[in-house]
Chain A
């Protein structure tokens, strides 16, 4: 049973660890390493980076030997739209205020699901927005403007 490399689960897991470990060690070169007696800020990250690379190499080796495939599906739609909904929320919180940010978050998040019933989502948006304003702004007193002038 030979899995092609691009679907090899352990190969990619190991490569990810090696990459993070190597990047960590590389960046940590800018920090003073110090000695065991006086550990500098670079000491711990360098050691951890080395460990990550070591683990990564072992896992890559396991992957090449066993060739287990990546399993499970990921809905590209959800993978794209959910982070986008958060990013929109972040931008609108700064530019437009609490209500537009929430509305955008709910609308885009709801669109990442399999079914999208427009009327239902509209009602949901209104309910969640009203409930959040009542709970967080009036109830808990968070100091966010409901709506900002552009």
Chain B
């Protein structure tokens, strides 16, 4: 079996001492970040990107992936124990998880959340391994027109499904594409939008935008709106779920996993949509919905499984097509490019160790999270007591050194300061910066493919409509746009994404 052969190869890569170590560091840092409120996974990955420059690509990606799902995990820990969602995705877990904790069943809730996530993670590892190669195979046949239309579809769906105003999200995608133009034009060598700064000739650094908008911007907005945190820690209690608990959780975990996989593949859906939707489903199918909100174990099991499934399936379009389905995946894509790897379907054939090693490491990382974190819960909780006023200067230090070390240029630091201010302005105006980042990452590739597609077709733009695969992508993008502007859908969307 090709699949098992590949997976065994992947485990061989992931189980090397170096990669195990980076995986461990990743999940540890990730959990730490997930537990600490006020720093999201986006900001962390952005801030730690420069640390991976000297690390081999496989190890770097394994570590970054570990940070990502470790953060998801840490977020649910604090939701259950202290009713504080470390990440937006774990808001739903607070509802019943914290109630369970107050009934002295925090340990059980944590264990079910961990086991549910692990189950979802295992299924998703298989899904990525099964569907990744055929998808990449298909994508290898793509020409420039197909690629352009695929990116268009990715950006449109991401903008449409993103949180907040749809029109603004689409506009932010275009703004991101525009920012991606800055620098020397590959074709003619003309320096565009450089304003005479030679530092801009290579374009605006990915790390600068990511850290400026997501780390500095986040700190400013946290400091603007300080909420008093009262940490009330409940006893963890026994970690072992009863037979009854497990019996009740099996179906919800299965449903949550399925839903998470489905939503995970769609670009733009955030894990919070998956968790919210799966909670609603559980409440609908339950015999006695009134138990929800009073410590129903299904209300912990299903969203946690959905959360993890969604997070991991986001890797499928990123690794096989080079299309980021979320802000975090845009950062991962940026990390790949920093390592000198061109994202796209070629990654699997040219860098099989990267692809399969990363997939295997996700499973190992999920296992590590269970083994490590259940016993370490006490330590994570005590970290919650670190006040933010000590935390954010440390984030600033990491961010500043990270940016500076990229090019050893102070210019980059000044640029990041500007992007921090811009990030705040965008937030105030209700313009989500995440679609901007997706556009920024894909911008140069989109222009290149547009140029090539039009060259091949003798300047005839109908090439995007006459090639069947490209046409399909365009039709899907158009359909999504039309559906989303229907009044009924628009209202529901507003209800869900808020």
Contacts and interface: CB of A to CB of B under 8 A. Distances in A.
B489 interface: no
B216 A82 contact: yes
Given A20-B175, A83-B421, A91-B410, A115 B400 contact: no
A35 B417 CA distance: 38
Interface in A60-109: 62, 68, 70-75, 77-79, 82-87, 89-91, 93-94, 102, 105-106, 109
A86 B454 contact: no
A83 B404 CA distance: 15
A118 interface: no
B244 interface: no
A24 to B, nearest CB: 6
- Chain A interface: which size bin? 35 or more
Nearest to B223: A78
Contacts of A56: 171
Interface string B406-446: 00001101101110110011011111000000000000000
Interface string A104-130: 011001101111000011001000100
Contact of B220 (A41, A68, A74): A74
A27 B390 CA distance: 44
A1 interface: no
B174 A51 contact: yes
A39 interface: yes
A59 B414 contact: no
Contact of A52 (B175, B219, B390, B447): B175
Contacts of A45: 178, 181, 192-193
B387 to A, nearest CB: 9
A105 to B, nearest CB: 6
Contacts of B223: 75, 77-78, 82, 112-114
B224 A72 contact: yes
B171 A37 contact: no
A38 B175 contact: no
A39 B175 contact: no
B410 A55 contact: no
A31 B410 contact: no
Nearest to B418: A83
B417 A86 contact: yes
B401 A136 contact: yes
B221 A37 contact: no
A136 B307 CA distance: 35
B392 interface: yes
B393 interface: yes
Given A37-B458, A82-B420, A87-B413, A44 B216 contact: no
Nearest to B404: A93
B283 interface: no
Contacts of B458: 37
A44 B450 contact: yes
A13 B400 CA distance: 29
Nearest to A72: B428
B225 A52 contact: no
B52 to A, nearest CB: 11
B196 interface: no
Interface of B: 51, 54, 165, 167-168, 170-171, 174-175, 177-178, 181, 185, 187-188, 190, 192-193, 216, 219-221, 223-226, 388-390, 392-394, 396-397, 400-401, 404-405, 410-411, 413-414, 416-418, 420-421, 424-425, 427-431, 447, 450-451, 454-455, 458-461
Interface of A: 9-10, 12-13, 16-17, 20-21, 24, 27-28, 31-32, 35-41, 43-45, 48-49, 51-52, 55-56, 58-59, 62, 68, 70-75, 77-79, 82-87, 89-91, 93-94, 102, 105-106, 109-110, 112-115, 120-121, 124, 128, 132, 136, 140, 142
Given A32-B188, A93-B404, A105-B397, 12 more contacts: A16-B429, A31-B185, A31-B192, A45-B192, A48-B178, A71-B428, A86-B396, A87-B414, A105-B393, A110-B393, A136-B401, A142-B401
